[in-house]
Amino acid sequence: MANADEAPEGALALSVITPVRRVAETSVSMVTLPGVDGDFGAMPGHMAFITTLRPGVVTYDEGGMPRRVAVSGGIVDVTGGKVVILARTAEPAQEVDLDRARRARESAESQLSALTYADEHWARWEAKLARAIARITTAEG
């Protein structure tokens, strides 16, 4: 991974970090992120902000190649030409176990179909479904 602490002129330094490892560190011209209020993009010169991420897909180009990383939620800090994503978990597309993600989606859908929205376990299974969908979307492109 290239050092993203100092991005070239007209680029952003992107870091995707989990409690266990640094998943990505590169320079990008734009990154799209799954915010809690909807997807949004950050480009060089973007105003500084910090926000929460929902489970979803982070997308960016690296050396002209599209890249996708499934995140299970977290926070993003966009400051001074840097985008730092602190995620609970993050998986690049090539690391996603698609069969496992599909099984997780089926399990979550099954559990949710047996619950009502008022059930105390609804939010947990809804979050599991969102994570599984993010992983599947990341792997399938």
Question: Model confidence over 25-64: pLDDT tens digits?
Answer: 999 999 999 999 999 999 988 889 999 999 999 999 988 8
Per-residue pLDDT of the chain (141 residues; tens, 9 = 90+): 444 456 667 789 999 999 999 999 999 999 999 999 999 999 988 889 999 999 999 999 988 889 999 999 999 999 988 999 999 999 999 999 999 999 999 999 999 999 888 889 999 999 999 999 999 999 998
Q: What confidence score (pLDDT) does residue 27 get?
A: 93
pTM tops 0.85, yes or no: yes
3-state helix vs strand vs coil in the chain, percent to 5: 25, 40, 35
Q: What confidence score (pLDDT) does residue 2 get?
A: 47
| Angstrom distance (rounded) from CA 46 to CA 34 | 17
Amino acid identity, residue 102? R
Q: Show the tokens assigned to 46.
A: 């973007």
Residues in the chain: 141
Q: What confidence score (pLDDT) does residue 112 get?
A: 92
What's 58-89 look like in SS3? EEEEECCEEEEEEECCEEEEEECCEEEEEECC
Domains detected in the chain: 12-93 (2.60.15.10), 97-140 (1.20.5)
Q: What confidence score (pLDDT) does residue 87 get?
A: 97
Q: What confidence score (pLDDT) does residue 4 get?
A: 47
User: Residue 87: which residues within 8 A CB-CB, separation 6 or more?
Assistant: 16, 17, 18, 23, 53, 71, 72, 73, 74
